[in-house]
């Protein structure tokens, strides 16, 4: 009697285990299939976002030429009117209204829209542009930051994807020669383009600096700068000595995870150098 009961228990446990295993395999396959689709979507989005604005610019310039008899007037219009390389109106209407900027970094795969959810700081950690749940998520900012990049320090978050997409390619800056050769990144906005010099790349702890520091207070901001400048003993620490960081500067901190050390983060710090309007 006992043997039959034991066999029933064993079979029940085995059946539950089998169901869980099958479920996990299905879920894992679904997530990774969706991840691949999202990555392909990002590539296409980057191509379309730039291409569409180029077409619109050509049409605009043709219209100007047809309607203007003065070469001086045409030159003045070209000089004074800022035209973003990214078609934000189309992105916001057709893709996602939370898109407010676009980040691009040469010699990496970083060529992505930047989003900010109106109420949930963690939403884009595990949601894609189309609202679907899962990886790779989005490049995003929390509500502690404005969407103007006028804060003293703006933090952008992105997953450390194994295939190097999203902010996984930030880890390329661990290589000293790569750090030396790649010196800037660009953030496009509807009304201006922001150019940042890459000053520091390093591994840090996982505290949320937007909560930990009050960047509106000079002493607190300076304390964070001092923290950024520390860590020279680490073999992963990279710094451009010629770039001086002060509390007058505006920084963008690009942050992602460290696979081998779950409680650490890897950051690449940009100092605003130029505003093109």
Instruction: Render 43-108 in DSSP notation, one character per residue.
Output: HHHHHHHHHHHHHHHHHHHHHHHHH---HHHHHHHHHH----SS-HHHHHHHT-TTEEEEEE-TTS
Q: Is the pLDDT of residue 208 over 70?
A: yes
What is the DSSP pairing of strand 139-140 with strand 193-205? unpaired
pLDDT for 113 equals 98
Residue 39, Cβ density class (10 Å: 0-12 exposed, 13-18 middle, ≥19 buried): middle
Classify the C-alpha dihedral 212-216-217-223 as positive or negative.
positive
The C-alpha atoms of residue 28 and residue 22 are separated, in whole angstroms, by 10
The C-alpha atoms of residue 190 and residue 93 are separated, in whole angstroms, by 14
Lowest mean pLDDT: which of 183-192, 230-239, 244-253?
Answer: 230-239
Going by pLDDT thresholds of 50, 70 and 90, the confidence category of residue 39 is confident
pLDDT for 68 equals 45
- Bond before 256 cis per omega within 30 degrees: no
Q: Is the pLDDT of residue 199 over 50?
A: yes
Q: Which has the higher per-residue pLDDT, 11 or 152?
A: 152
pLDDT for 69 equals 46
The C-alpha atoms of residue 199 and residue 229 are separated, in whole angstroms, by 10
Q: Is this prediction's pTM over 0.85? A: no
Q: Is the pLDDT of residue 41 over 80?
A: no
Q: What is the mean pLDDT of residues 27-54?
A: 66
Q: What is the mean pLDDT of residues 46-70?
A: 54
Going by pLDDT thresholds of 50, 70 and 90, the confidence category of residue 66 is very low
The contacts found for 106-111 with CB under 8 angstroms, 24 or more apart, are: 106/182, 106/184, 106/185, 107/172, 107/178, 107/181, 107/182, 108/169, 108/170, 108/172, 108/182, 109/164, 109/165, 109/169, 110/166, 110/167, 110/169, 110/170, 110/185, 111/46
Tell me the CATH class for 88-276: mainly beta
Q: Which two tokens stand for residue 208?
A: 């949320």
Going by pLDDT thresholds of 50, 70 and 90, the confidence category of residue 11 is low
pLDDT for 107 equals 97
Going by pLDDT thresholds of 50, 70 and 90, the confidence category of residue 209 is very high
């Amino acid at each position: 009697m006992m043997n039959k009961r034991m066999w029933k228990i064993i079979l029940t446990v085995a059946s539950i285990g089998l169901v869980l295993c099958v479920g996990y395999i299905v879920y894992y396959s679904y997530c990774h299939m969706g991840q691949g689709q999202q990555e392909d979507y990002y590539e296409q989005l980057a191509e379309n976002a730039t291409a569409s604005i180029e077409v619109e610019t050509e049409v605009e310039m043709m219209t100007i030429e047809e309607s203007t008899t003065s070469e001086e007037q045409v030159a003045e219009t070209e000089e004074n009117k800022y035209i973003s390389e990214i078609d934000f109106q189309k992105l916001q209407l057709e893709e996602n209204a939370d898109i407010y900027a676009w980040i691009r970094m040469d010699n990496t795969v970083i060529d992505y829209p930047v989003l900010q959810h109106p109420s949930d700081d963690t939403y884009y950690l595990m949601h894609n542009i189309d609202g679907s749940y899962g990886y790779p998520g989005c490049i995003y900012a929390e509500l502690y930051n404005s969407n103007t990049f006028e804060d003293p320090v703006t933090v952008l978050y992105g997953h450390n994807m194994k295939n190097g997409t999203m902010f996984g390619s930030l880890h390329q800056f661990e290589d000293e020669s790569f750090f030396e050769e790649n010196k800037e990144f660009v953030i496009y906005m509807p009304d201006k383009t922001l150019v940042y010099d890459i000053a520091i790349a390093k591994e840090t702890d996982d505290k949320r600096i937007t909560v930990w520091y009050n960047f509106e207070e000079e002493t607190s901001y300076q304390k964070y700068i001092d923290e950024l400048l520390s860590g020279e003993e680490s073999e992963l620490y990279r710094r451009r000595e010629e770039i001086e960081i002060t509390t007058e500067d505006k920084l963008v901190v690009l942050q992602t995870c460290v696979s081998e050390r779950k409680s650490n983060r890897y950051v690449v710090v940009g100092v605003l150098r130029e505003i093109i309007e």
